[in-house]
Structure 1
């Protein structure tokens, strides 16, 4: 249970590629992030990543009409059937080819996928358990090039498919007699999107060159006729009709077969025909680039189009009236989605990893989130564990809320990559270092994140290698940073002793030097290593030092006596993969890989290690053994993930990885004719390599975070399904615990409940204690059980509504056992910090509500006093009473409103 960490959430990355979807209620956005899926709850201001992952980056996501199921398809054609209710994978399927889009029918009975130049219709999985969730119904042929988009009619009778060959095909979902397929032309570029009009077969088609064609159908959806069955189906149907006629004697019946019209009506009705009513162009003045994404809301007739220049348009159809135009980015808009009410529009920009939700009527942002443009290299937890600060190679510093998963402030003052970030002890100030030669401090209490300290490292004369700048003083003075000389190679890591004024510096010269900050900045000890040092960290109590070296070892040292106390060989635990262009095997390439980041656990008994690998290892320090290994990613779209070379990519001309696979897509070099080239010739296709750049344990010890190539991954303890008793014997049963409660022997009941360690039973036992007896029972608890009760109280604050009751428990336990707990401050520190984190969260929430209600009550009191001063001689309905009634209306209006969404997920 102590190391039952599971993937909890993904921060730092909000959108990569694929299509966006709104849930059926319109309050949440489903965004594909690499090979994972994140749900952004806009109403409750939370984001949560589903605990699932595909083998490659997600290409498309199809959402069922009821919002219960989702089909997630990656770039390799592997599909996952996901239940959004229980957040689990129900079925795996492989489409045997790259899928471009997937769409459910409005009735939820079928779904269509576009693959290559064909469209395949499957029976949608139902709510009952099935042996095969995906059953192929029909395969539709017609387009000569890759299919790009799908749209259904409202009655699920037909669907349209767009293609790169500039044509749009309308297919019947059933065997219609007057509509088998219909091909529409009129465009000069690839089709980007196609949309049916509400309750109609009328169609809108949009192409990449910014052209919109309006198509009118001469047949209503009700005019589609089913094709008469032939062969054995017709004989069977005729027998069924004869039997029904015998049972219903004398009843007149219409001469139709399964919706088949009479022959006379069939002769009068012809085939379905389309005619083009109008053709519009978005880029008449040539101000915009290619159209890249579009969405259409059928009820409000709103068309949203996104372009490669980062501009989007809002038009009203079919008149093509421009409503709004705005530039949201300088990168192409990759995906557009509209919620069910038509008020919110979601935009995804893959170039910047940006996700925006725009309310077009009020012209304001509902959500504006963006991750680091380049990889994240450092992170730090706040002292209470509620916030995480990250620094990236893009020079940005972002602060994330661990509860909501949103970034609420971004600092862009650094002009180069950020190398280190940390919180001060108060948790209100962030100190950062950068490759631009500056150390900056940011105040979180100031709204703008004002920089109030700015140290310019370039103004001092120390060399870039071998010198360590001393840390700035806490109080600003005329003292300049000093130069600590002694290393003969580049500095690879710095770490302060949390208990003493000692600085440890690791270098490539195979030494770790300890500097005394309180005694003339001199070197107290020099630790000799067997290889170049890559990372260094102190244990939380400062009594031990861990160093990661280039030979993939982790050595442990006693900083007081400068004696090595142990070492761990981690080369076999890294298991690095083979890159696509490597000439050597993964086994030989692992010889050059090592751990590059270390972090002790909150209790100091374990240590986390990560580096150029997809694995994060947690070791027991004293036993020097591997306790658990976490695979942070299974995304094969990243490099160095596979151990063996994929021979399918080897040809007689060499490795296919040397060929730009994205040459025909946006941003690549397109060569349509011999000798003709266009596009950015400097653009190159590359695959990012999987790596872990930083690791940190939460101060509460219940979770840890890692900055990786895919983003900021958070792993937390999952104790829901684990049975972890304490000193259990046959006398500890739920029956005896409840019997002790009936006898009002609360102390015995609590001890037995914590020995059994079942959460529901613990909650029942503690809440059965009267509030006026909590102090007496708290004093009778043994010291060993006080820590367990505090840990349960800390976790209960997250979900329970009995806030005052649990606060009384916490207060009495700390007041009675406070002196005894000081002797075990090292082991109790994570529990106390976890308790402080949850209490502080409630304090912030309740204080905002109380402040707002205080001003409302003052206003209501002032209005009531004004009404009380009214002269009693005034008759009812006088002018003063009318004024007072107007004041009442204003007061009710103000009381009803409030800053409920003032602190929305804007960053």
Structure 2
């Protein structure tokens, strides 16, 4: 039960701004979590950090070490990206529309409502209040929408909804009598969506400013310094900014001549320097509008933009799904393409400027495009609606998902990437099943079809239909893969097809309600079905027609699953109980009362608290572990429960999310949020989000619901629709409102206290290794169950001693040793050495493995998964280098026959060495 959160699939992007750090790492918000994608290794992972609600803005430090996230509740997290840990927390007083680190990483500019605040960037040190407010500018008449720092971190640009952009001088003047009034860039006719500094490449100084507005215009402003003015003002250029105080100067209200020119005070050169050579060079000059360019995308609105300072490029995204790439300042259009029909909600460059990242919140789409070669680096799109079902492949390397958006996606579990999408279904996908050969996937849908997908050619090679249209909600296939069964929602029948011919073989009738659970016994050809008619029926599909036996219940049966050995049957009912049956004798073995375990979370429309409410407390999905010792259960709740089957006790509860943007997460509601018209969160009295180009959206769900459940027409409700445990037993996947959550076993679990004594220590393992006793060291490390010591002891065994050491391993440590070998196969370069270990273990302990296959099944599945992946990688490598291998073989053969050539090339004086290499 030592599972921990590993990754989030099914939703690469859900809104907010994306950023790129270290040139190749793409960071994007996914709900209340953050996803990090390595664009070189093609791997994505989700940080084990949750915000209180959906994340709206993120920013990263210039060195890529720190990440700042701000959610819809104005709560901020300061995260160490390398350690994946939260260092500091904070709450802003107003909604945050933009946030950005300074170029030197010392300060953070935050646009909170109409205010522009500058905070000192925290560090690794734990402090009581790490965020220090050093300056506040309160001169904008409407909320600030865009920010940009100058390269020297001395100036700050801010675009506002009041149709202006302002240039702020960050450092304070030494004299309180002379104040620095920010320069205003005026003349815009719509909200300023982006502001950027342009730099002269020769002097590395700011020479231009670009302002981009929502009505698709780009304004280019040029700076012209005043000539003959050498007297400058004295500023605090070398001293750090002091904490914010309520005087007017700290609020950024200062005086000037209206053109950005400051009044002379004294000659700064007497202090040993010139302000023009330090930080105040933009204070002595004038700004003027050079040109105004139209992007020509009306009536569409500009929704995202970014600027690359080194290449002088601007990328813009529009509400109609079109993006444009322009060379500035001449405004030359390099690309103008359409990537979707929905609004582009984020557009950003990487550090080198060769990759463009686009995000579409409405489609859950994330793209990385190399604009020079016009090729995709990354192309991922999640499910727009809720994920209804998941299925693991037999080798646990693939995960298939089906959702209400009529799509079936197949993901690689190790990388977190989707590599194929099937969209032939015309209605919601409700059930998935992998065939035993690992290359065929079945899907059932409400459109009345069951489709078979070929994962080699990525095509639908067979479609199973019925004489009249039906809605399928459950799916099963026998162990041989010859028979396919699907249960219906409307006619309450079970249809049976032949996999080879696609012909309808039989129709099983007898249920009086929707057939939501369907599964073949792993040990025989008996089919179990569960229905809302309060029964579980056992069918003999091959030998005889009709139900073999009926297992009655007092409430509607929601799902049914077999234990992996086929000797037990579990089903959940509407009253929140899990019933365990003996399918051979038809006897009820025991019952787990799970209503109180799954209770938790109060909906906005609930009249009672979560503890007193009795509606909706039931499990809709069950899943046995690989050895059948425990069972996972989930349903209309924020919890996933793990039960011990033998003792009928709750082992652990997994809370799938802490996201307050979803309904059903809080146990107690705040009475301050209740109004006469209902909960304030369900009242939409403003269209500000539509005005900014990001429509509010609610993910849909199926057109039916369980009996006794109350529909919620406001925010999405947190629930678990499907649970599946990997055949290896090392991870499980849960399809939830947040996406597909993947949990894996935490390898940091150290030891089993019942197997220790005073002599079993890490020092004893090291001593045995130093005394050249690898067998004793391996046994001690297995008793400690410390992963690093086990692997070190394995490598300490010489290849010749592997059979002897393998024979000395007791059976109780066999599972742990196999798990360690499987892990080494995934990451170790000594392939032959580890495979020899596996071979000797199978030779020596073959009988024990065969007799106790049920207990060792998870470890053996993990080993099989690792070997299968390596076999595929080697096969691909060899096939792609076939001609190179032939050329190397010919070279070795010729060298073996010509001793002089071998001497001149390698210095080897024995032709037999080359012959051995060739062999």
Category of TM-score, reference length = shorter chain: 0.7 to 0.9
Instruction: Assess, with a 3 A threshold, how the Cα gap between structure 1 residues 790 and 163 changes in structure 2: closer, same or farther.
Output: same
Structure 1 position 586, deviation (Å): 3.1
Note if 1:469 corresponds to 2:494.
yes
Aligned residue number for residue 212 of structure 2? 206
Q: Deviations over 1:697-743 (max 9, x none)?
A: 11111111100011110011112253335621123234444444455
Matched ranges for 1:222-241 at <5 A: 227=234
Structure 1 position 658, deviation (Å): 4.3
Instruction: Assess, with a 3 A threshold, how the Cα gap between structure 1 residues 115 and 667 changes in structure 2: closer, same or farther.
Output: closer
Aligned length: 825
**1:428 and 1:337 mapped to 2: Cα distance?**
38
Task: Tell whether the 8 Å contact from 1:178 to 1:271 is kept in structure 2 after alignment.
Answer: no
Aligned residue number for residue 67 of structure 2? 70
**1:332 and 1:343 mapped to 2: Cα distance?**
23
> Which stretch shifts more, 579-588 or 766-775?
579-588
**2:713 and 2:685 mapped to 1: Cα distance?**
7
Instruction: Assess, with a 3 A threshold, how the Cα gap between structure 1 residues 532 and 824 changes in structure 2: closer, same or farther.
Output: same
Instruction: Assess, with a 3 A threshold, how the Cα gap between structure 1 residues 659 and 390 changes in structure 2: closer, same or farther.
Output: same
Q: Deviations over 1:389-408 (max 9, x none)?
A: 01111111100001100000
**1:134 and 1:651 mapped to 2: Cα distance?**
35
SS across alignment from 1:218: strand
Instruction: Assess, with a 3 A threshold, how the Cα gap between structure 1 residues 661 and 715 changes in structure 2: closer, same or farther.
Output: farther
Q: Deviations over 1:121-140 (max 9, x none)?
A: 01112355544321000100
Aligned residue number for residue 612 of structure 1? 636
Aligned residue number for residue 906 of structure 2? none
Structure 1 position 11, deviation (Å): 0.7
Q: Deviations over 1:433-481 (max 9, x none)?
A: 11111111011111xx12221111354899864543243224227x523
Decide which of 527, 530, 544 is 2:554's aligned counterpart. 530
Aligned residue number for residue 774 of structure 1? 802
**2:146 and 2:633 mapped to 1: Cα distance?**
45
Note if 1:256 corresponds to 2:279.
no
Structure 1 position 254, deviation (Å): 8.0
Matched ranges for 1:698-709 at <5 A: 698-709=726-737
Matched ranges for 1:580-729 at <5 A: 580-651=604-675, 654-666=678-690, 686-720=714-748, 722-724=750-752, 727-729=755-757
Aligned residue number for residue 186 of structure 2? 185
Task: Tell whether the 8 Å contact from 1:226 to 1:258 is kept in structure 2 after alignment.
Answer: no
**1:301 and 1:228 mapped to 2: Cα distance?**
31
Q: Tell me how large the CA RMSD over aligned residues is.
A: 3.0
**1:130 and 1:195 mapped to 2: Cα distance?**
34
Task: Tell whether the 8 Å contact from 2:406 to 2:426 is kept in structure 1 after alignment.
Answer: yes
Matched ranges for 1:490-569 at <5 A: 490-569=514-593
Matched ranges for 1:31-42 at <5 A: 31-42=28-39
> Which stretch shifts more, 317-326 or 846-855?
846-855
Instruction: Assess, with a 3 A threshold, how the Cα gap between structure 1 residues 83 and 742 changes in structure 2: closer, same or farther.
Output: closer
SS across alignment from 1:797: helix
Matched ranges for 1:453-468 at <5 A: 453-459=462-468, 465=490, 467-468=492-493
Task: Tell whether the 8 Å contact from 2:751 to 2:783 is kept in structure 1 after alignment.
Answer: no
Instruction: Assess, with a 3 A threshold, how the Cα gap between structure 1 residues 528 and 129 changes in structure 2: closer, same or farther.
Output: closer
Task: Tell whether the 8 Å contact from 1:142 to 1:169 is kept in structure 2 after alignment.
Answer: no
Decide which of 833, 843, 862 is 1:805's aligned counterpart. 833
**2:130 and 2:862 mapped to 1: Cα distance?**
44
Task: Tell whether the 8 Å contact from 1:440 to 1:451 is kept in structure 2 after alignment.
Answer: yes
Structure 1 position 855, deviation (Å): 2.1
SS across alignment from 1:805: helix
Task: Tell whether the 8 Å contact from 2:643 to 2:650 is kept in structure 1 after alignment.
Answer: yes
Aligned residue number for residue 421 of structure 1? 432
> Which stretch shifts more, 755-764 or 195-204?
755-764
Q: Deviations over 1:334-378 (max 9, x none)?
A: 011100111000001001010000111111111110011111000
Task: Tell whether the 8 Å contact from 1:581 to 1:657 is kept in structure 2 after alignment.
Answer: no
Q: Deviations over 1:240-262 (max 9, x none)?
A: xxxxxxxxxxxxx9853485769
Note if 1:279 corresponds to 2:295.
no
Task: Tell whether the 8 Å contact from 2:626 to 2:727 is kept in structure 1 after alignment.
Answer: yes
Aligned residue number for residue 195 of structure 1? 196
Instruction: Assess, with a 3 A threshold, how the Cα gap between structure 1 residues 109 and 529 changes in structure 2: closer, same or farther.
Output: same
Task: Tell whether the 8 Å contact from 1:391 to 1:421 is kept in structure 2 after alignment.
Answer: yes
Instruction: Assess, with a 3 A threshold, how the Cα gap between structure 1 residues 201 and 152 changes in structure 2: closer, same or farther.
Output: farther
**1:835 and 1:864 mapped to 2: Cα distance?**
35
Aligned residue number for residue 11 of structure 1? 9
**1:269 and 1:733 mapped to 2: Cα distance?**
66
Matched ranges for 1:87-236 at <5 A: 87-175=84-172, 179-198=180-199, 199-219=205-225, 227=234
Matched ranges for 1:255-334 at <5 A: 256-257=270-271, 271-283=284-296, 286=298, 289-334=300-345
> Which stretch shifts more, 784-793 or 193-202?
784-793
Task: Tell whether the 8 Å contact from 2:494 to 2:509 is kept in structure 1 after alignment.
Answer: no
Task: Tell whether the 8 Å contact from 2:498 to 2:504 is kept in structure 1 after alignment.
Answer: no
**1:734 and 1:354 mapped to 2: Cα distance?**
49
Task: Please give the TM-score of this superposition, normalised by the length of structure 1.
Answer: 0.86
Decide which of 876, 881, 903 is 1:853's aligned counterpart. 881
Aligned residue number for residue 455 of structure 2? 444
Note if 1:820 corresponds to 2:866.
no
**2:674 and 2:783 mapped to 1: Cα distance?**
60
Structure 1 position 483, deviation (Å): 1.3
Task: Tell whether the 8 Å contact from 2:488 to 2:494 is kept in structure 1 after alignment.
Answer: no
**Consecutive unaligned residues in structure 1, runs of 5 or more:** 234-252, 671-677, 868-907
**1:405 and 1:557 mapped to 2: Cα distance?**
37
SS across alignment from 1:761: helix
SS across alignment from 2:832: helix
Q: Deviations over 1:62-119 (max 9, x none)?
A: 1101110011111111111101111111111111221111100001111100001010
**1:224 and 1:559 mapped to 2: Cα distance?**
95
**2:594 and 2:223 mapped to 1: Cα distance?**
68
**2:85 and 2:453 mapped to 1: Cα distance?**
41
Instruction: Assess, with a 3 A threshold, how the Cα gap between structure 1 residues 866 and 846 changes in structure 2: closer, same or farther.
Output: closer
> Which stretch shifts more, 716-725 or 332-341?
716-725
SS across alignment from 2:78: strand
Structure 1 position 622, deviation (Å): 1.4
SS across alignment from 2:792: helix
Decide which of 369, 382, 391 is 1:371's aligned counterpart. 382
Q: Deviations over 1:488-512 (max 9, x none)?
A: 2222211111111111111111111
Task: Tell whether the 8 Å contact from 1:294 to 1:303 is kept in structure 2 after alignment.
Answer: yes
Structure 1 position 664, deviation (Å): 1.8
**1:444 and 1:632 mapped to 2: Cα distance?**
31
Task: Tell whether the 8 Å contact from 2:87 to 2:126 is kept in structure 1 after alignment.
Answer: no
Structure 1 position 328, deviation (Å): 0.3
Task: Please give the TM-score of this superposition, normalised by the length of structure 2.
Answer: 0.85
Instruction: Assess, with a 3 A threshold, how the Cα gap between structure 1 residues 293 and 528 changes in structure 2: closer, same or farther.
Output: same
SS across alignment from 1:457: coil
